A and B are shown apart, each in its own frame.
Chain A
Amino acid sequence: MPRRPLDPVTLAVLSKRFDSITTKMANTLLRTGRSGVLNMAKDFSTSIVTRDCELLTGAETLPIHVLSGADLMARSMMELHPVLRRGDAFLHNSPYHGCSHPADHTILVPVIDEKGTHHFTIWVKAHQADIGNSLPTTYMAQARDVYEEGALIFPCVKVQQDGEDITDIIRLCEMRIRVPGQWRGDYLAMVGAARIGEREVLAMAAEFGWQTLHAFTRAWFDYCEQRMIAAIRRMPSGEARATSTHDAVRGTPPDGITITVGLKVDSENAMIEVDLRNNPDAMPCGLNLSEGCARTAAMIGIFNSIPESVPTSAGSFRRIKVHIREGSVAGGGKHPTSMSVATTNLADRVTNPVQVAFSMIHDGLGLAECGPIMGASLAVISGVDPRNGNEPFVNQIFLLDTGGAGAATTDAWLTICHAGNSGMCFLDSVELDELHFPLVVKQRRLVPDTEGAGRTVGAPAGYCEYGPVAGANLEVVYVADGVRNRARGTRGGLNGAPIRNYLRSTEGELTELPGIADVVLRPGETVVSNCAGGGGYGPPWERPVEKVREDVEEGWITRQRAHDVYGVVLTDGGQVDVAATDARRAGLAAAQA
């Protein structure tokens, strides 16, 4: 059949229509999900993939979920299930078949017309509150392999046929996942969202015809590629190499895992390459990156650094190459290597050096490093709720995160959470957490003088403290990076603050807790958690004087720090002493030179 070119209005309307479908799916998940990780932290994503398994569009959700992975997972669905029928749905969480990590249960629904032809795949991924691991957490950093990790792995398993649940699978999950009712509620939310997406795509096909929709996907990919070409051509060519180190856990070398990235920007040919091949072999721990996460983490660093907004689709990805070495910790691991924590810790150690490498190529590109996570302020908590007939609960809380990095021209986005999240998640309302769980949040505040100093500043650290109430015990499990290795500044910017966690006894005494911990708080005890700050960009003494004065007035930094680090001298009335400031700044610059 002849291919008609698509008129520009239809191109615009259809691109927005596909976007709005993924947004609607995302809203459904957010509004109907049961676990906090889903309905508060927004730790999920929705997208649509073409029949050729190329990413068409994704809702504006967590970047680490979606740039690469949807394509790999759709491909595995087609390979494992050559015959697809309307009404099928698949449950997929296997990092060995394209999924990010086992905690991200994913529902894939093929969109199939009356004749049985497969046209698109709807894709809904959500981090679960629990997946049946050997400990009550979805992050098993110290698991030797997938067996010790304990997750149920679903390598694209059919979970619905003719629109009805295959109850064998549901029963299996209900026997092996903690608080099964919560899991089932989230499963319903995911399937509901996917079916909404399916319904909407079918309605679009009825209105425009499948042929027009496929013509659109081709035109859209070409358009996205052109936008990417234009964006890369506006950047200078260059190469840089940067590293970033994750704290040691059991199963890693004593100095932790150092990730090395090579970045090459080829402005003339409009290509960007990231080389992840110079990295160690996969390790007997849960930090190894899945292929989906390794690719995505590198791509996030790229999209963060492009100084304009380019739509993310298979079209713009044509201008990106990510090299991965088979067998490596950075995306090359094979079954039964554990990839339990693949979306956060080590993935950030890929994204961060990529964006730093851009800043090394040119002052005015890229960012410093975002703060590492996840201390006790983002712990998975569990126990039974005496206020509620001892009902069991398990959930990740998002009580406090900051971590934003100083960017080329802008101060940090304060609540970035971590590089792979990019600030998309919500922070828990204290009232909501106290309503849902038997706990009290004693404090939640930002800490002065902890920002990643720079021309543009990284986020300050935060402080929070919480503990059980109503006579309950509270189990707190977390996996923190960044106790030893802080977020690094770039181009003379200073490092961000580290993560710290403490146990406060009933007598008020503080004991420092390790980077990875599983503690049970008794009544009267609390856990104290400092989240990590982000790195600064550029020398602090180049920060505009007026901004430093405001930072002091607003209590972000003390006068002492303004003087020592930023070289800004304030009078007793809080005004800038211009002459003293000029002298102090000249001195700081000279000392550096």
Chain B
Amino acid sequence: MRFAVDTGGTFTDLVLEDDRGRLHMFKAPTTPDDPVRGILDVVGTAAESFGATPETLLGRGDLFIHGTTHATNACVTGTTARTAFLTTHGHPDVMVLREGGRLQPFNFRVPFPKPYVPRSLTFEIRERIAADGKVLEPVDEESVLEIIGRLRERRVEAVAVCLLWSTVNPLHERRVGELLSHHLPDVPYTLSHVLNPVLREYRRASSACIDASLKPLMSRYLGSLAIRLRKAGFRGRLLMLTAQGGVMDAEDLAAAPIHAVGSGPSMAPIAGRHFARLDVRGDTAIVADTGGTTYDVSLVRRGSIPITPETWLGQRYRGHILGFPSVDVRSIGAGGGSIAWVDEGGLLQVGPMSAGAVPGPASYGKGGTRATVTDAALVLGYIDPAYFLGGAMKLDVALAQQAVGRDVGGPLGLDLNGAAAAIVRVATENMVGAIEEITVNQGIDPRGAVLVGGGGAAGLNSVAIARRLGCRGLVIPELGAALSAAGAIMSDLHAGYRALQFTVSDGFDLAGVNMTLAELLGRCQRFLEGPGSGALEHSVDIVAEARYRHQIWEIDVPIPFQRFEDETHVARVREAFDRVHEEIFGFGDPGSAVEFVGWRATVRCRLRGRSLGRLAREKGSRVKLAPTRKVYFGDAGVVSARIELFETLRPEQPLKGPAIIESPFTTVVIDPGARVMRKRSGSLVITP
């Protein structure tokens, strides 16, 4: 049995794959004060449904795959550890100066970004290594000890070390690491050459600083999760999602927590691609995951998962570079919990603030008083107050009406329905804007794409969004309410290793490169024998990061063998480089030498054999709902909409809106004029 749990801003989702391959989906509110409690809660909900105790249920589990926004949130809200940055003497401003670069040359309203680690916590170490690895100045250990003393005084909680050329000769970074281990044993640290051995000191330093700053928090979190799961009866393997769209063992992630940054939404495109292919044979899909707090969008183009080579925390040049590639997902603050209000200029605003899980929308009756998108949907009749989360949570319509009327209706002079419809409409526009960022702004016409709607709140306005964009189809998978968790169930175990080994095509260092490749492959092998043992199948891919002589930006060339036997191998790779260069940039330069800078090996292990199963029908889920309900649609006014249950909707039978399709996890609103059909896969396919 496999568990996949995704902790979102508002809900914690669980997708469970039983031993017969059937899937089960559960949700429980996220508990921000102690997120592990929310995870145990959702397991409890599942156990109840299985008529078992959590202990027996967890006891049957062999894998527990978990994704969390914990790391991202900590970076965004500045609640990471108090981190110090140790740098080579003479170069204290690596994190301040960055690599230059700016967006919007005429916009002087955006301040220059503050360094990720403040200057007051930056310390210069007397040492220097040259580009060829030679020691120009040995580490002055006295000065390191003196700095360690200051770190103690300043009550520093984590340390990042990035010294110039540590990638070529790690001697000094290692020595500083030893001194830190010895004299500051309780403070975790990150050495840049271990974490991310790339050329360019800012990237390496930024990786190291972000990583170190997450170590205390993520070790605490992962430690507590492992211990509590074990206490609750879990005996299997705990895997964590990464921003690269794969999974890692929890203890490996604790040692390099930077890989968790941005991991939360990275699985949605993987699941979205699966359903777009399965349900409408769509090759280009906009995958939108609407949670309570954020709206995450990504674009699957020609079937490939979007990867960004330079991941930034926040905006490019304005945020902080992570220094690793990652799945490209953009987020905006919009969702069911988005708060609606009228600003001083009389303009209706929805989000980016969210009522979150606590206190939640007004209608939850848990102390939230401000009007949210969920409250508006309740007022409009989109949501059945008695059947929210399958009836697990009763919503209070009166509280929703009160909030919508007070916060929006009054100030704008609109009646209740008008005000609620305006809230949903503005939320829709915000979401459309986010999708335009990744489509229209890249010159891709969304009219040719399929929209895949995931997340608990997706059903409220996905038809409206698809209409606004002119999308040809909309798919709401039956697992859509837990899209990321569904992606996690499908994900592979992976690890990536990287080494710097500079050589040129017209003087290729066969021995040196083969040594580097052997070392990388050895690490892959150790991974296969360790974390990867028991995998159904695996692959190891090697790429060289190469460029023409005097270029400085490398591109990836796949290496189709594991060692360079002779010059013919060099010639083959060099020709491959010309081809890749031509493909990307429109020209090759066979006359120019090729420089090979870095080498990467990626190992992926497939953990599941069969294809994804269907959602099982849970016992006792048969409810009787009224056949119709009064629902307000802006243009059409109040109409009587047909009510159907997601799980009992007959496959391949078209149905025309207005209709509402209910499930214990989501409510899908089919606007008048739209048509919906349930496919045999279980998904709803809607022609907006």
In whole angstroms, how far apart are the Cα atoms of A199 and B470 in the complex?
27
CB distance from B318 to the nearest CB of A (A): 10
- Check B440 against A12 for contact (C-beta < 8 Å): yes
The stretch of A47-55, A77-85, A134-142, A427-435 in contact with B is A427-435
- Complex contacts, A440 vs chain B, CB 8 Å: 130, 136
Q: A306 interface residue, CB < 8 Å from B?
A: yes
Q: A290 interface residue, CB < 8 Å from B?
A: no
Q: Which interface residue of B91, B104, B107, B584 has the most chain A CB atoms within 10 A?
A: B107
Question: A residues 287-304 with Cβ under 8 Å of B?
Answer: 300, 303-304
Q: With A40-B552, A426-B101, A445-B90 known to touch, is A410 a contact of B587 (CB < 8 Å)?
A: no
Q: With A309-B104, A413-B112 known to touch, is A13 a contact of B440 (CB < 8 Å)?
A: yes
- Check A555 against B119 for contact (C-beta < 8 Å): yes
The stretch of A180-188, A253-261, A483-491 in contact with B is A180-188
In whole angstroms, how far apart are the Cα atoms of A20 and B441 in the complex?
7
- Check A422 against B105 for contact (C-beta < 8 Å): yes
CB distance from B571 to the nearest CB of A (A): 21
- Check A430 against B550 for contact (C-beta < 8 Å): no
CB distance from B308 to the nearest CB of A (A): 13
- Complex contacts, B315 vs chain A, CB 8 Å: none
In whole angstroms, how far apart are the Cα atoms of A442 and B137 in the complex?
11
In whole angstroms, how far apart are the Cα atoms of A423 and B100 in the complex?
7
- Check A404 against B112 for contact (C-beta < 8 Å): yes
B107 to chain A: closest residue by CB: A309
- Check B99 against A427 for contact (C-beta < 8 Å): yes
In whole angstroms, how far apart are the Cα atoms of A188 and B363 in the complex?
63
CB distance from A577 to the nearest CB of B (A): 20
- Complex contacts, B108 vs chain A, CB 8 Å: 304, 367, 407-408, 410, 413
Q: What is the 8 Å Cβ interface bit string for chain A, positions 407-441, against chain B (1 contact, 0 not)?
A: 11111111111000011111101111011100011
B587 to chain A: closest residue by CB: A192
Q: Give the residue of A20, A303, A417, A429 whose beta carbon is less than 8 angstroms from that of B200.
A: A429
Q: B445 interface residue, CB < 8 Å from A?
A: yes
- Complex contacts, B587 vs chain A, CB 8 Å: 32, 188, 191-192, 195
- Check B104 against A28 for contact (C-beta < 8 Å): no
Question: B residues 25-74 with Cβ under 8 Å of A?
Answer: none
Q: What is the 8 Å Cβ interface bit string for chain A, positions 26-55, against chain B (1 contact, 0 not)?
A: 001011111110011010000000000000
- Complex contacts, A554 vs chain B, CB 8 Å: 118-120
Question: B residues 104-136 with Cβ under 8 Å of A?
Answer: 104-112, 118-120, 130-132, 136
- Complex contacts, B440 vs chain A, CB 8 Å: 12-13, 16
In whole angstroms, how far apart are the Cα atoms of A526 and B102 in the complex?
31
Q: With A32-B548, A431-B201 known to touch, is A444 a contact of B119 (CB < 8 Å)?
A: no
Q: A546 interface residue, CB < 8 Å from B?
A: no
Q: B586 interface residue, CB < 8 Å from A?
A: yes
- Check A435 against B551 for contact (C-beta < 8 Å): no
- Check B586 against A199 for contact (C-beta < 8 Å): yes
- Check A424 against B96 for contact (C-beta < 8 Å): no
Q: What is the 8 Å Cβ interface bit string for chain B, positions 588-606, against chain A (1 contact, 0 not)?
A: 0100100000000000000
Q: Which interface residue of A16, A303, A440 has the most chain B CB atoms within 10 A?
A: A16
A304 to chain B: closest residue by CB: B106
- Check B443 against A21 for contact (C-beta < 8 Å): yes
- Complex contacts, A199 vs chain B, CB 8 Å: 586
- Check A32 against B551 for contact (C-beta < 8 Å): yes
In whole angstroms, how far apart are the Cα atoms of A62 and B101 in the complex?
11
How many B residues are at the interface, by size bracket? Answer: 35 or more
Q: A202 interface residue, CB < 8 Å from B?
A: no
Q: B268 interface residue, CB < 8 Å from A?
A: no
Q: Give the residue of A181, A462, A469 whose beta carbon is less than 8 angstroms from that of B592.
A: A181
Q: A63 interface residue, CB < 8 Å from B?
A: yes
- Check B90 against A442 for contact (C-beta < 8 Å): yes
- Check B105 against A35 for contact (C-beta < 8 Å): no
CB distance from B592 to the nearest CB of A (A): 6
- Complex contacts, A367 vs chain B, CB 8 Å: 108
- Check A429 against B199 for contact (C-beta < 8 Å): yes
Q: Give the residue of A32, A426, A444 whose beta carbon is less than 8 angstroms from that of B581.
A: A32
Q: A443 interface residue, CB < 8 Å from B?
A: yes
A312 to chain B: closest residue by CB: B106
Q: Please report the total number of A residues contacting B with Cβ < 8 Å.
A: 84
Question: B residues 392-451 with Cβ under 8 Å of A?
Answer: 436, 440-443, 445
In whole angstroms, how far apart are the Cα atoms of A555 and B115 in the complex?
13
- Complex contacts, B101 vs chain A, CB 8 Å: 42, 423-426
- Check A444 against B97 for contact (C-beta < 8 Å): yes
- Check B131 against A415 for contact (C-beta < 8 Å): no
In whole angstroms, how far apart are the Cα atoms of A31 and B581 in the complex?
10
Q: B555 interface residue, CB < 8 Å from A?
A: yes
Q: B561 interface residue, CB < 8 Å from A?
A: no
B111 to chain A: closest residue by CB: A410
- Check B106 against A303 for contact (C-beta < 8 Å): yes
Q: A154 interface residue, CB < 8 Å from B?
A: no
Q: A9 interface residue, CB < 8 Å from B?
A: yes
CB distance from A560 to the nearest CB of B (A): 18
Q: Give the residue of A40, A62, A553 whose beta carbon is less than 8 angstroms from that of B120.
A: A553
Q: With A422-B106, A554-B120 known to touch, is A445 a contact of B553 (CB < 8 Å)?
A: no
In whole angstroms, how far apart are the Cα atoms of A91 and B470 in the complex?
43
- Complex contacts, B106 vs chain A, CB 8 Å: 63, 300, 303-304, 306, 309, 312, 422
CB distance from B538 to the nearest CB of A (A): 32
Q: B92 interface residue, CB < 8 Å from A?
A: yes
- Check A185 against B131 for contact (C-beta < 8 Å): no
- Complex contacts, B103 vs chain A, CB 8 Å: 60
In whole angstroms, how far apart are the Cα atoms of A367 and B109 in the complex?
11
- Complex contacts, B585 vs chain A, CB 8 Å: 28, 31-32, 189, 192-193, 196
- Complex contacts, A309 vs chain B, CB 8 Å: 104, 106-107
Q: Give the residue of A28, A40, A312, A415 whose beta carbon is less than 8 angstroms from that of B586.
A: A28
Q: What is the 8 Å Cβ interface bit string for chain A, positions 3-26, against chain B (1 contact, 0 not)?
A: 000000100110011011100000
Q: A446 interface residue, CB < 8 Å from B?
A: yes
- Check A444 against B550 for contact (C-beta < 8 Å): no
CB distance from A44 to the nearest CB of B (A): 14
- Check A414 against B97 for contact (C-beta < 8 Å): yes
- Complex contacts, B550 vs chain A, CB 8 Å: 34-35, 181-182, 185, 436
- Complex contacts, A444 vs chain B, CB 8 Å: 90-91, 93, 97
Q: B202 interface residue, CB < 8 Å from A?
A: yes
In whole angstroms, how far apart are the Cα atoms of A16 and B100 in the complex?
25
A440 to chain B: closest residue by CB: B130
- Complex contacts, A404 vs chain B, CB 8 Å: 112
- Complex contacts, B118 vs chain A, CB 8 Å: 554
Q: Which interface residue of B92, B108, B584 has the most chain A CB atoms within 10 A?
A: B108
Q: A120 interface residue, CB < 8 Å from B?
A: no
In whole angstroms, how far apart are the Cα atoms of A138 and B511 in the complex?
42
- Complex contacts, A32 vs chain B, CB 8 Å: 548, 551, 553, 581, 585, 587
CB distance from B298 to the nearest CB of A (A): 18
- Check A20 against B97 for contact (C-beta < 8 Å): no
Q: What is the 8 Å Cβ interface bit string for chain B, positions 513-545, against chain A (1 contact, 0 not)?
A: 000000000000000000000000000000000
Q: A398 interface residue, CB < 8 Å from B?
A: yes
- Complex contacts, B104 vs chain A, CB 8 Å: 60, 309
9 shortest A-B CB distances, which residue pairs? Answer: A443-B90, A423-B102, A20-B443, A34-B550, A422-B105, A407-B108, A427-B100, A17-B443, A192-B587
What 10 additional pairs, Cβ within 8 angstroms, besides A32-B585, A36-B552, A422-B106? A16-B440, A20-B441, A193-B586, A387-B132, A410-B109, A435-B199, A443-B91, A462-B97, A554-B119, A556-B119
Instruction: Mark A residues whose CB is within 8 Å of B.
Output: 9, 12-13, 16-17, 19-21, 28, 30-36, 39-40, 42, 60, 62-63, 181-182, 185, 188-189, 191-193, 195-196, 199, 300, 303-304, 306-307, 309, 312, 367, 387, 398, 400-401, 404, 407-417, 422-427, 429-432, 434-436, 440-446, 462, 465, 469, 553-556
26 A-B residue pairs with CB within 8 Å: A20-B443, A32-B551, A32-B581, A32-B587, A34-B548, A39-B551, A63-B106, A193-B586, A312-B106, A401-B100, A410-B109, A411-B111, A413-B112, A415-B102, A415-B112, A422-B105, A427-B97, A431-B165, A432-B200, A440-B130, A443-B90, A444-B90, A444-B97, A445-B92, A469-B130, A554-B120
